[in-house]
Amino acid sequence: MLLKDCSFIITQDDKRRILKDYSIRIEGNHIVEIAKGIKGKGIDCRGKIVMPGLINTHAHLGMHSLRGICDDETLFNWLDIVNREEEKLSMNQILRNTEEGIIECIRNGTTCVYDSYKFAPERIKVFERLGMRGFVSSTVTKPHHLAHVDRLIHDTKKSQLVKPIVAAHSPYRCSKEILESIRDISREHNLMRRIHIAETEKEVRDTKKETGMTSIRYLDKIGFLGKRTILVHSTFVDDYEIGLIAKNRSSVSHNPISNMKLGSGGVAPVVKMLGRGITVGLGTDSVVSNNDLDMFEELKITCLLHKHHNKDPKCMTYQTAMDMATLHGAKCLGLSDIGQIKKGMKADLITVNMEGLGPWNSVVSNLVYCANGNCVRDSIIDGRLVMQDRVLQKI
């Protein structure tokens, strides 16, 4: 495959180079050449920006049919309504929801998504059929849920696109024994482990009342933190806890739109986290709390939220946000072969239509502050063209 005469290439390499009028040759699922004047037939990328596909580090695609059921509700009313409706979802509906969620992800420029919901082994097949790179888990809250993890590990062994994650829901829905079991499975099988943590002040208060410690301190105490740990939300954490996250080399999935929509009342201290060298990726959460899967929106909102909250326009730059949605997202999920455009990397790329987004005084700035998912024209995942001119190729 050849992407010819790209108007701009956002490499996201170590120097964050932006290449003009270069072409990209892909063989198999890897980038093998980036140069000017590569001969051969290919996709005409004049008038397009080519960039790494966006990486969504936290979603629940199986909830797709519940979008809009309880907007503008207080958090715990929202949870009651959503939990009741989730109980009504059949496996077939969840698989349809997963398909619709993946389609929305692809159309909005996401090439890798971490999706946690029920019926994980069955959802793997949907990812593979649509050509989507992903991480899949079923959230564990009870001991018998751990049996699902063994099947998930088995069913993803031969997949080039889908990897498993072992996932705890949260401290308030998982006993200490379950959290320790997830920790041990993660270590034994070399898997990433995930938990929703410090999302609300109530959670932190309840955890402290139950354990004598705040949420992150508790996870550190039981050995749950570590380099394979993904901490989702991490909104209500103090400076000492940021230090614990950094010391243990855990990663954070920041979901700003979901947190704002549910009115959690806090802003994750992402600027401080980045300052301590913590890897922070971006996520949408579900369409019930967002209400879409457009990662370009997360890019812009991340910048605006932290500039406003910290009263500092320089504290969250457009380049930092782009890093969080690409390089940091990959690292957050334990990947080192996507998130950049350079020779030897896997070919997870998107093209963005430049029309209506100029003038191009700053290419990355325009992408972060002006673009949205509707600007995406083509998507290549694992070297395969999964969307061309906004038409999905595998439906």
For the stretch 198-239, pLDDT in tens is 999 999 999 999 999 999 999 999 999 999 999 999 999 999
pLDDT of amino acid 74: 82
Cβ–Cβ contacts within 10 Å for residue 81, how many? Answer: 15
Could you tell me where in the chain the CATH 3.20.20.140 domains are found? 54-332
Q: Does position 395 have pLDDT exceeding 80, yes or no? A: no
pLDDT of amino acid 113: 98
Residues counted in the chain: 395
Q: How many CA atoms lie within 13 A of 82 on its CB side?
A: 23
Q: Which pLDDT tens digit goes with each residue over 98-114? A: 999 999 999 999 999 99
**End-to-end CA separation in angstroms for the chain:** 21
- How does 368-379 read in b/e, with b if 16+ C-beta sit within 10 Å? bbebbbebbbbb
- How does 187-212 read in b/e, with b if 16+ C-beta sit within 10 Å? eeeebbbbbbbbbbeebbeebeeeee
pLDDT of amino acid 31: 98
> Measured between alpha carbons, how far is residue 239 from residues 45, 272, 308 in Å?
46, 8, 20
CATH number of this structure's domain 2-53+340-392, picked from the four choices 2.30.40.10, 3.90.79.10, 2.40.50.140, 3.30.450.20: 2.30.40.10
pLDDT of amino acid 103: 98
DSSP 109: T
Could you tell me where in the chain the CATH 2.30.40.10 domains are found? 2-53+340-392
Residue 244 burial (10 A CB sphere; 0-12, 13-18, 19+): middle
Fold of 54-332: TIM Barrel (3.20.20)
Q: Does position 28 have pLDDT exceeding 80, yes or no? A: yes
Phi-psi bin for 281: left (phi > 0), alpha (psi -120 to 50), beta? beta
Mean predicted lDDT score pLDDT of the chain: 97
pLDDT of amino acid 264: 83
Instruction: Give the span between the Cα atoms of 239 and 237, in whole angstroms.
Output: 7
For the entire predicted model, the pTM comes to 0.98
Instruction: Give the residue-averaged pLDDT of 106-123.
Output: 97
pLDDT of amino acid 79: 86
Q: Which pLDDT tens digit goes with each residue over 304-318? A: 999 999 999 999 999
pLDDT of amino acid 147: 86
Instruction: Give the residue-averaged pLDDT of 109-120.
Output: 97
* Amino acid residing at 363: V
pLDDT of amino acid 185: 96
pLDDT of amino acid 85: 97
Instruction: Give the residue-averaged pLDDT of 168-191.
Output: 96
Q: How many CA atoms lie within 13 A of 230 on its CB side?
A: 32
pLDDT of amino acid 29: 98
* Amino acid residing at 178: I
**Displacement of CA 90 from its chain's centroid (Å):** 25
Q: Which pLDDT tens digit goes with each residue over 327-373? A: 999 999 999 999 999 999 999 999 999 999 999 999 999 999 999 99
